[in-house]
């Protein structure tokens, strides 16, 4: 900053320095999530709905079932038709998150740039950012903070997801009630199907509407291995060597796809959504689809 700078230039420089300091203080994954959320730029407009409220939403043509008191005579005077002024119904909803922190989520093959857990964390925080901006309450299921909205809630979510040591439980914890709430569950869903089913059954009975995000590494889905390959368990306690890995590819893919279909079928059975996402695919596309699913359900549950 020069002594010859104008007051406006000095103010701009100071604000830029403050912004850089703030960004440097953010956990790297939260910074990535904020950039991702900004790139999607969906805002809150997709969740607006008509109802009792203070904020103007739109004008629409008068219908016979509308009370005469709702007619906006000033707007109607500009046309040959009668118009009703609609207000926006602003009802904050609670969206809980559960991101699988187990050892299998830390896998990354040479065909992806990020681990499954890092992609799941970024998607969690990016969606949380969009929802918090829209006035929805967010929190980590089983976490130490109550649901809240705004920047504070997002920072708390980031702190809990990136704390060391990270929680390693792949399955969401037991809760008493989830009435009028949603759960976004991000995992590779490699737990036994019976365990996953029991959790979905329990959470559905508690009143949750769920959105499952099935995160997979491209190597897990494609099995691009050939020749002599040694496969190690996540605990590194067990390993197995295949002389010609391509010989087991067909049977592996059959089992992997069958398990993935059972997971998505389980979601459909309970009226939940299930989004499959590969870590070599666009995070922005996945975020847009997930935001649409969560935001659309908020509208359905509050109208």
Report d(CA 254, CA 252) in Å as an integer. 5
What pLDDT was estimated at residue 301?
44
What pLDDT was estimated at residue 125?
92
Instruction: Verify that 127 and 263 share a domain, yes or no.
Output: yes
- 27 domain residue, yes or no: no
Q: Is the pLDDT of residue 105 over 90?
A: yes
Whole-model pTM: value is: 0.73
- 168 domain residue, yes or no: yes
Instruction: Verify that 144 and 253 share a domain, yes or no.
Output: yes
pLDDT in tens, 236-253: 567 778 888 889 899 999
The residue segments making up the domain with residue 298 are 94-302
What pLDDT was estimated at residue 116?
96
Over residues 135-160, the mean pLDDT reads 89
Which segments of the chain does DSSP mark as H helices, in order?
Answer: 7-25, 28-40, 73-76, 116-133, 151-162, 193-205, 218-222, 249-269, 283-302
Q: Is the pLDDT of residue 138 over 70?
A: yes
| CATH code (residue 219) | 3.40.50
Instruction: Verify that 198 and 165 share a domain, yes or no.
Output: yes
Of the listed ranges 22-31, 34-43, 103-112, the one predicted with least confidence:
22-31
Instruction: Verify that 53 and 111 share a domain, yes or no.
Output: no
Instruction: Verify that 151 and 232 share a domain, yes or no.
Output: yes
From 27, 55, 87, give the residue that closes a domain: 87
Instruction: Verify that 78 and 198 share a domain, yes or no.
Output: no
Q: Is the pLDDT of residue 302 over 90?
A: no
Report d(CA 266, CA 140) in Å as an integer. 23
3-state helix, strand, coil in the chain (%, to 5): 45, 20, 35
The domain total for the chain is: 2
pLDDT in tens, 38-65: 777 544 444 444 444 445 556 778 877 6
The secondary structure of residue 268, as a DSSP letter, is H
Contact by Cβ (8 Å): 266, 178: no
The band of 22, judged by pLDDT with boundaries at 50, 70 and 90, is very low
């Amino acid at each position: 900053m020069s002594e010859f700078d104008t007051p406006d230039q000095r103010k701009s420089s100071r604000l830029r320095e403050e912004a850089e300091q703030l960004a440097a203080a953010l956990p790297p994954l939260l910074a990535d999530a904020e950039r991702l959320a900004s790139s999607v730029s969906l805002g809150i407009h997709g969740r607006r709905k008509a109802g009792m409220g203070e904020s103007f939403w739109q004008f629409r043509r008068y219908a016979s079932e509308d009370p005469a008191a709702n007619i906006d005579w000033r707007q109607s005077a500009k046309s040959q038709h009668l118009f009703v002024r609609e207000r926006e119904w602003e009802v904050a909803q609670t969206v809980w998150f559960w991101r699988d922190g187990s050892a299998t989520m830390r896998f990354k093959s040479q065909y992806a740039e990020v681990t499954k857990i890092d992609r799941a964390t970024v998607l969690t925080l990016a969606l949380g950012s969009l929802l918090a901006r829209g006035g929805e309450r967010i929190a980590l299921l089983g976490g130490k903070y109550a649901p809240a909205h705004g920047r504070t809630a997002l920072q708390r979510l980031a702190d809990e997801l990136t704390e060391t040591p990270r929680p390693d439980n792949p399955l969401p914890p037991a809760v008493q009630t989830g009435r009028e709430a949603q759960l976004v569950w991000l995992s590779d869903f490699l737990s036994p199907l019976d365990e996953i089913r029991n959790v979905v059954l329990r959470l559905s009975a508690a009143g949750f509407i769920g959105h499952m995000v099935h995160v997979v590494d491209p190597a897990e889905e494609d099995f691009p291995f050939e020749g002599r390959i040694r496969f190690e368990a996540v605990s590194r306690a067990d390993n197995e060597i295949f002389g010609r890995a391509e010989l087991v590819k067909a049977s592996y893919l059959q089992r992997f796809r069958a398990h993935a279909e059972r997971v998505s079928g389980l979601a459909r059975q309970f009226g939940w959504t299930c989004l499959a996402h590969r870590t070599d695919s666009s995070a922005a596309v996945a975020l847009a689809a997930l935001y649409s699913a969560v935001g659309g359900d908020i509208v359905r549950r509050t109208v």
